[in-house]
Structure 1
């Protein structure tokens, strides 16, 4: 069946799978009467202390909002665009008034006006014994393999946006790995092997 993951912008992390009837085109998914998602923009005074992702998410959780109804939180300069399930839109327009100690002004914006902030990252080159998940996590976050394995076992690690508790899971080129409390990395490139049989890799670590 015809389907799509939305929102469809490059780098979208939290997406919704939507199936469409034959009479609808993918381009119609973002029409207000059809789309299951909405986008809100929270703005605040330029003189205010810049709230971060954690501030916005914490405020939403404090309102009793379920995490699964909140998509990407895109923090920019003096504003933050948040993708949400449409069902919570009326509640947020009435009740989402602050992030941290900063007062917000919240409004609905069209999907095509989303501001996607440029992601900053550090490029890491390394060699690993294998492409196991625990090995890539250890390399990307500069922690021991034991600590990486513990985080995986505890359910703190997501591979391609799905929780993965298998330390020996093979990671492939282009895979995204998120670790709670540490951040996000991407296995950018898998190279050749060294003389000692180790694998050359390149990793993006996002900030």
Structure 2
């Protein structure tokens, strides 16, 4: 492994980079495919960048449907014939009295994590506004069906479905063009959500901000392409592209903002 690779990434991303190289070594030494946990968009971007430079290993990223946010990576040797079953994806529908009760993304996720499984065993949680479905590691299906009979104070059943039964997610990302003086986290929060920079700093310090799904307490961290930033009660955004600089040396950005 080229140690210079680390200079292109954040310090906190080094353990994941090490993990990717460990996976590559395993695939090359065993001549067998390897399936990853569910990856965040940033992790998927990193593994894609690293594997694209390899000659002996191929990569497929899938999360169950087109545009899935959390995806699993399948690494495999060149000769291997990929099959969908290799991705070990399963699909659960949450059955509950829709007319008389309401559940939310946060309550579903909290309940699943409350069973003791790790976040990276769970893919996207999707809804059409009424019904809810969950994409999970296939090895977790029977365990979750046995463990989850209530979400909040609502009685539920988890029913296994197929990928053909998946709903169309109602998440809407709006693309906006932003001119920013810096790629600092506090600067971008202030610019995109139309709040003061001081308020942005206070939100970060209060633990209300996550970068790539990890709580971030540094106000000066630099945000790059494909990073996902969330501010509690405001929503999420990600930089699609850094399109250049203006004459005044400001950044010209294409940003996707999740409507809430």
**Residue in structure 2 matched with residue 23 of structure 1 by the alignment:** 80
The answer (yes or no) to whether the contact 1:41–1:82 under 8 Å persists in 2 is yes
**Normalised by the size of structure 1, how large is the TM-score?**
0.76
- Report how many aligned residue pairs link the two structures: 199
Moved more, 11-20 or 88-97: 11-20
Computed over aligned residues only, the root mean square deviation of the Cα atoms, in angstroms, reads 3.2
CA distance in 2, matches of 1:177, 1:144: 20
The answer (yes or no) to whether the contact 1:149–1:167 under 8 Å persists in 2 is no
Please list every run of 5 or more consecutive structure 2 residues that lacks an aligned counterpart in the other structure: 1-56
The answer (yes or no) to whether the contact 1:153–1:167 under 8 Å persists in 2 is no
CA distance in 2, matches of 1:90, 1:41: 13
CA distance in 2, matches of 1:2, 1:155: 38
Please list every run of 5 or more consecutive structure 1 residues that lacks an aligned counterpart in the other structure: none
Counterpart check, 1:127 vs 2:179: yes
**Normalised by the size of structure 2, how large is the TM-score?**
0.62
**Residue in structure 2 matched with residue 169 of structure 1 by the alignment:** 222
Moved more, 109-118 or 196-205: 196-205
The answer (yes or no) to whether the contact 2:180–2:250 under 8 Å persists in 1 is yes
Counterpart check, 1:2 vs 2:61: no
User: Could you report, residue by residue, the CA deviation over 1:128-175 in whole angstroms, capped at 9, with x for unpaired residues?
Assistant: 21233432232223333345456289694324x677768352533xx3
CA distance in 2, matches of 1:19, 1:192: 34
Whichever structure has more helix as a proportion of its residues is 2
Q: Which has the higher contact order (CA 8 A, sep 6+)?
A: 1
Q: Which secondary structure state, in structure 2, belongs to the residue aligned with residue 94 of structure 1?
A: helix
Counterpart check, 1:35 vs 2:91: no
